[in-house]
Amino acid sequence: MTSSPKPRRVVVVGAGIFGASSALHLARLGLDVTIVNDGAPANGASGRSLSWLNSARREDTPYFRLRMAGIDRYRTLAATRPETAAWLRFDGGLTWDADDEANQIASICQLEQSIGYDAILLGRAEVAAVTPGVNAGAITQQGAIFNPGEGWVDLPSLIDLLLSEFRARGGKLIQDAGLVRIDIGGGRACGVVTAHGMKIDADAVLLAVGPATPTMLAEIGVHVPDATPISLLLKTKPVKSALRAVLNTPRVAVRPTPDGAFVLDSAWSEEEVIVNSDGTHTVHDETVQGLLDEASAVLEGNPRLQLASYGVGPKPIPGDGEPVLGAIETIAGIYVTFSHSGATLGLIAGELLAREIASGNPHPMLASFRLHRFG
Ligand SMILES: Cc1cc2nc3c(=O)[nH]c(=O)nc-3n(C[C@H](O)[C@H](O)[C@H](O)COP(=O)(O)OP(=O)(O)OC[C@H]3O[C@@H](n4cnc5c(N)ncnc54)[C@H](O)[C@@H]3O)c2cc1C
């Protein structure tokens, strides 16, 4: 990959975590930045995310290292901005597997320890002293891994914080713009056009449109393999519980929220969502109740959990599961950020992408994540 000319004006399409973070980092580097979003900020996947900050169950790959750098940036944010304490927490993560032949708890713990990822293997009886609020009886006989360095973030609160600094630095946010399209002229990106026909000129365009990435790229003749599923996130009503860690268990993932409730998701409940022919989704009451029951079963005292709300929609995942970050190369001036784990990666990806765009020089930590790896 070679260096590109340095842009002065950048349009960022999308105001989820990747758009907000990249735009702020670009503004910090002195560029003239406009974010254009179809609706209000955080109205996509970032508004209905479990947002567990982690690099768990991974070998020592570039993806593992990028995630670790992502967690590092959150640590810095937590240390320098005390007002984040209600919605950015490092209370650890606890995970266990089903009691079957696929149980990998011991080997995963060994792997994590071998690459310096903080991991402790706990038997059922040891969990309460390390991380309270868990029903020890629900933990399988192989035990659980506690990862003390993990945490969680409330993405809408983070996006709010990032956008307020973005605006203070002179960045422009255009929301409710409808579906924006990229404007191409002379073989390169020259801005975007909003659904209402407003043209915004730019030297570079960053697509941070989450699950809409494959469709938007297809409109300009670029293909990206897509493994985006429909996801479901439930939010409970506030409930008294000592749980502070994020739980990843065979039937449910649970993480606390800033207002004393929990958000929940799981693979099986996602699969039960019906996608209707008009693009809307149907979530069965049994799925909702089933997930609430699974969460209650892993919490100490099995508290009765009640539904407050749920979010349903696509969860952005590229075809090979790894992030797609950086210039698309076939058309000058277009950059993309399309990834799962966008909570963990949000701050670091925005920072590194902004450096690439502003300097024209590719960042070595993003080398494995280029679109052209798909050929
Ligand atoms: C249920 C669930 C659980 C998750 N769990 C975790 C986790 O535990 N840990 C973790 O790290 N990550 C997790 N993720 C992933 C993470 O939340 C996402 O990777 C991240 O939120 C994606 O952010 P984004 O900015 O790419 O997309 P989005 O938040 O979807 O933002 C894209 C924005 O672009 C807008 N847009 C789209 N098309 C256009 C257009 N043409 N014109 C204008 N605007 C447009 C959308 O409306 C949206 O506002 C989870 C996600 C989900 C859904």
In percent, how much of the chain has pLDDT > 90? 98
Pocket test for ligand 1, best of 209, 215, 283, 339 (most atoms within 8 A of CB): 209
The CATH code of the domain that includes 253 is 3.30.70
From 277, 293, 314, give the residue that closes a domain: 314
Residues 264 and 289 sit within 8 Å (Cβ to Cβ): no
DSSP bridge partners of 26: none
> Residue 15 in 3-state DSSP?
coil
Ligand 1 contacts CB of residue 162 (under 6 A):
no
- The CA radius of gyration of the chain, in Å to the nearest whole number, is 21
Q: Residue written as tokens 């998701």?
A: 265
137 exposure class (CB count in 10 Å sphere: 0-12, 13-18, 19+): exposed
DSSP bridge partners of 174: 36
280 exposure class (CB count in 10 Å sphere: 0-12, 13-18, 19+): exposed
Q: Does residue 72 lie in a domain region? A: no
- Whether 3 shows a pLDDT value over 70: the answer reads no
Q: Which of 352, 231, 249 is nearest to 296 (CA)?
A: 249
Residues 26 and 126 sit within 8 Å (Cβ to Cβ): no
pLDDT in tens, 289-317: 999 999 999 999 999 999 999 999 999 99
Domain count for the chain, please give it. 3
Q: Does residue 290 lie in a domain region? A: yes
Q: Which domain holds residue 288?
A: 229-314
Ligand 1 centroid, distance to 47 Cα (angstroms): 7
Closest C-alpha residue for ligand 1 atom 51: 49
- Whether 286 shows a pLDDT value over 80: the answer reads yes
From 111, 146, 181, give the residue that closes a domain: 146
Ligand 1 centroid, distance to 137 Cα (angstroms): 35
Q: Please identify, by atom number, the ligand 1 atom nearest to the C-alpha of residue 232.
A: 1
pLDDT at 375 (0 to 100): 86
Return the C-alpha torsion angle 327, 217, 65, 2, nearest 10. Answer: -20
User: Which amino acid appears at position 210 of this protein?
Assistant: G
Angle at 104 between CA 302 and CA 143, to 5 degrees: 40
> Which are the contacts of 84, defined by CB distance < 8 A and separation ≥ 6?
77, 78, 157, 158, 161
- Whether 2 shows a pLDDT value over 60: the answer reads no
Task: Tell whether 305 and 345 lie within a shared domain.
Answer: no
Instruction: pLDDT band for 1, please (50, 70, 90 cuts).
Output: low
pLDDT in tens, 32-78: 999 999 999 999 999 999 999 999 999 999 999 999 999 999 999 99
pLDDT in tens, 203-227: 999 999 999 999 999 999 999 999 9
Q: Does residue 336 lie in a domain region? A: yes
Ligand 1 contacts CB of residue 350 (under 6 A):
no
Task: Tell whether 17 and 127 lie within a shared domain.
Answer: no
Ligand 1 centroid, distance to 130 Cα (angstroms): 33
